[in-house]
Amino acid sequence: MIEYDKFQKSLKHLEVQYENYSTIDKNLPELIQEAVAESVIQRFETCYDCMWKVLKRYLSEELGLPEVPNSPKPIFKIANENQLFASTIEQWLKYADLRIATSHDYSGEKALAALELMGDFIDDALGLYQTMSGQSWE
């Protein structure tokens, strides 16, 4: 049986922190605003890592696919072939590239690119969670 708890918890934390980022008081000191933005990116990294690992188990255990690769992009392609995604494979590959980029650099440009994709990632991850777990999002 696949445990979805870590994926669910990491996604909830990302969702909450992204909401904090989206509604942050722009009068707060810049350092605090940057810390919230960095926290969103770190929570994305955690959620992304939990998500693709659960997806790998789902493909293997629930769909019975033999020899599922051990890296996100090939897993996303297989998931797409099995119609597990509501959005395009290109979108999921953007998330994979984003994860690689954020692990090396939180510079303004890369952080901004990450934050611009975060709402879409959260929506897509929620959809994938519901598809895999069969549970509605609370």
- The closest alpha carbon to 124, from 83, 79, 92, belongs to 92
The answer to whether residue 131 scores a pLDDT higher than 90 is: yes
Checking if the pLDDT of 10 tops 90, the result is yes
User: Across residues 23-43, what is the average pLDDT?
Assistant: 94
Sign of CA dihedral 13, 52, 86, 131: negative
Question: What confidence score (pLDDT) does residue 105 get?
Answer: 66
pTM over 0.85: yes
Residue 100 lies in a domain: yes
Contact between 138 and 126 under an 8 Å Cβ cutoff? The reply is no
Asked if the structure places residue 69 within a domain, the reply is yes
Contact 137, 30 (CB under 8 A): no
Using left for φ > 0, alpha for ψ between -120 and 50, and beta otherwise, residue 108 falls in: alpha
**How would residue 102 be classed by pLDDT, with cut points 50, 70 and 90?**
confident
Structurally, how many domains does the chain consist of?
A: 1
138 in a structural domain: no
26 occurs within a structural domain? yes
Contact 98, 113 (CB under 8 A): yes
Domain of 39: which CATH number?
1.20.120.330
Domain that holds residue 37: 5-133
